[in-house]
Amino acid sequence: MNDRHVKVEVQLERMKSFGEDAAKAGAVDAEEPVPVSVPVPSSAASLSPDPSGITIAAAAAAGADTPGKPRGKHRGKPGKDAKNICGKHISDLALHGSAVSAHGERHLNRLGYERTLHIKGTGKILQGKLENNGNYATIHASKNIHETRREDGFKVPRKRRPVTVDTSKAKTSLEALKISIRQLKWKEFPLGRRAACEIYWHGVSFHDNENIVSGQVNKFPGMIEMLRKINLSRAVRTMQELFPEEYDFYPRSWILPQEYQQFSTQIRMVKENDATVNPTFIVKPDGGSQGDGIYLIRDPADLKLVVGSQAKQAVVQEYIQKPLLIDKLKFDIRLYVLIKSLEPLEIYIAKEGLTRFCTEPYQEPSQKNLSHVFMHLTNYSLNVHSGNFVHSDSQSTGSKRTLSSVLYRLAAKGVDIKRVWSDIIALVIKTVIAVVPELKVYYQADIPPGKPGPTCFQILGFDILLMKNLKPVLLEVNSNPSMRIEHEQEVAPGVFEYVPSPVDEEVKVGVIRDTLRLMDPGHKKPTISQVRVEHGDEIPMEAESQERGPDETGALPSLCLKQVYPKYTKQFNYLRLVERIAVLFVRFLGVKGNMRLGPTAFRTFIRTCKLSNSNFTMASVDILYIDITRRWSGATPDSREAGMGLQAFVEAFFYLAGRRFKSSSLREQIVSLLELCEAQPPPGAEDRRSLSCSRALPRAVRAQTLCLTNSPAPLRRAASQDYGLHQRVKPRSHRVNVEN
Ligand code: ADP
């Protein structure tokens, strides 16, 4: 067994004993000293040689090492954390010889490895909860500390009020959420609450509860829209234009019906060039989930472009023909990713995930087997209906397994799973970077800066396929990954019941509980300067968690979520170019609540950035605006609002950058134009006035505008009025699309 496996087992053991432990931990009376946390590195070894008077006395025979816990980087750098503690924080402590018991990251007392942290030395006083790269250990402070603290005029921390969670809209995640809240000893409001809650858990979208003006909501506005198949494909494609090598983890895709011609032409050319090539494509309806409506084709003529009289919005994508197989079966990975914040961007990845297996042995696609869904599609919701589906209580067998059990198995075969894991982390960060620009536009529209509103976080479900050569490929991202912890089972012929699924529970409760722990309003947010940035190219597989280990009662295991951003800022920050374009875009939107740019605002952008000249007059600017906006209004399925959306603006920006900086590569052109625009002062008062009032287009352009009388209504509105863009964007109605 490797460390990872041992770790999962230890964690399971701990979960089993949780009820008992929680009961014990719950029996805290008012007299009990309030736990105080100080930063302690996860490895005791890094503490013990500390010269400044900190010693660790292991009460248990095990000494400094904790079984099953990879020591990671701390092993190689014994002095680093010790220095942080002694040189920075702890040297400031005046504990005057008092002994405090530290419950380390693995809550060692429960495992029989109690340690005592003797902190000697002089200096000032221990100040509540401190952070050191997020590593915490709980210290039950002795009476002496409290006395000393009072004498020195410091506030003694009180036992905290439980965090309040509104679960009234949690839908299918309710069961796992309830367990999580119970484990944290937080307070659930299943019917909502008149007063504000600190956390709102929504089952579908940001708008499940309206009028939330404080606290934190577990959904971002616009996430559902952004992660629909077409939008995700577009966002990734924009990044592919700028960074083709970095974004080669997403299969080539075409958007239907708009790109049908390009698709069929390209396929025809490929086949003409090499008659032996016969690629397969997978067609996915936009906004579909659970494998619904998906089919494979080998000939563009087989596309079903119309349903009834309506053109079907879909993505057609290159089919990955050689996936990695286990037990001859195709499988995919479901990875849970937390976006903790957009500004600054904070991304966490769950160390444990799920793998979903097909139920029919895989064969490369042929005309004969194209319709075999149990062979080609890994969706649980489809395969559960196959007679071959295996429900298993074990994490490493059956049709749904833990990711760690699969990685363990691959490692046993000699696969470099560190490499695989590091590629997966890179894929996740790059994908998030691709969708953040548009999310920011939605965010400012729904929660304008300066107005009361909640902050947001969200758990996403990444579906990833490993190719035979171990390269991870992004299939899709679910904005509402199923958090069900039970599965449907046929208990008697034709009779289905929901029965508990230990594999789901193990993974999903951990993800929800630890998301809540990270969002705990009492948990001080690490600032950027506190976050350690990794150097070197390869991302370590099992970097130490930078967040606190056990909770303040010592009752919970270490976090199963690992921060990857801003931790790896250095490796990925250069990719955030479109986000800078989005920031500019928002700057010129002018009125809070807007998501689209009117022609006047676009002109203001051009003027402010000094992009027009005798070769590129303001009339040409207007024509450019109309041309791009017209194309995008047809291309966006949900184009109820008129004007230039972010994706259209990005296209215009690319064009302008190409005009202005002809000689360099696209990426360099974009960087140069961004630098030019960012250096300009924000639109002045006069410009702002022009942004918010209607103005007729200049005569030169009116002729162009007149041609639009046959164009779609939204565009006509856009061209003729400088828009009613200034109304606040109404929340869209959301189709309930919870992926199960
Ligand atoms: P849905 O949201 O309907 O589940 P997905 O994009 O996840 O749609 O696709 C469903 C399944 O189809 C995936 O779980 C995977 O097994 C398979 N699949 C999707 N895209 C590809 C692809 N490009 N190559 C190979 N298999 C794919």
> Against a cut of 0.85, is the pTM above it?
no
Cβ-count burial of 245 within 10 angstroms (0-12 exposed, 13-18 middle, 19+ buried)?
exposed
Beta-bridge partners for 463: 334, 476
CA of 426 to the centre of ligand 1 (A): 20
The angle formed by the CA atoms of residues 85, 111 and 3, to the nearest 5 degrees, is 80
Q: Which amino acid is at 563?
A: Q
- 3-class SS at 638? coil
Q: Which atom of ligand 1 is nearest to the CA of 463?
A: 7
The residues lining ligand 1, judged by C-beta closer than 6 Å to any ligand atom, are 251, 282, 284, 288-292, 294, 317, 319-320, 332, 377-379, 463, 465, 475-476
User: Mutation test of ligand 1: which of 230, 296, 379, 386 has the most ligand atoms closer than 8 Å to its C-beta?
Assistant: 379
For residue 683, is the peptide bond before it cis, meaning its omega torsion is within 30 degrees of 0? no
Q: What is the dihedral of CA 705, 710, 715, 716, to 10 degrees?
A: 60
Residue nearest to atom 12 of ligand 1 (CA): 377
pLDDT at position 310 is: 81
CA of 220 to the centre of ligand 1 (A): 24
DSSP string, 227-281: HSHHHHHHHHHHHHHH-TTTTTTS--EEEETTTHHHHHHHHHHHHHH-TT----E
Question: Which residues of the chain, if any, have pLDDT below 70?
Answer: 1-158, 524-554, 634-641, 683-740
Taking CA atoms, 32 is separated from 139, 146, 401, in Å, by 13, 11, 43
Q: How many residues does the chain have?
A: 740
Residue nearest to atom 20 of ligand 1 (CA): 475
Whether the CB-CB separation of 82 and 41 falls below 8 Å is answered with yes
Q: Which atom of ligand 1 is nearest to the CA of 292?
A: 3
Alpha-carbon distance of 51 to 340, in angstroms, equals 37
pLDDT at position 597 is: 95
- Residue 503 φ/ψ, nearest 5 degrees: -65, -45
CA of 590 to the centre of ligand 1 (A): 40
Widest CA span in the chain: 88
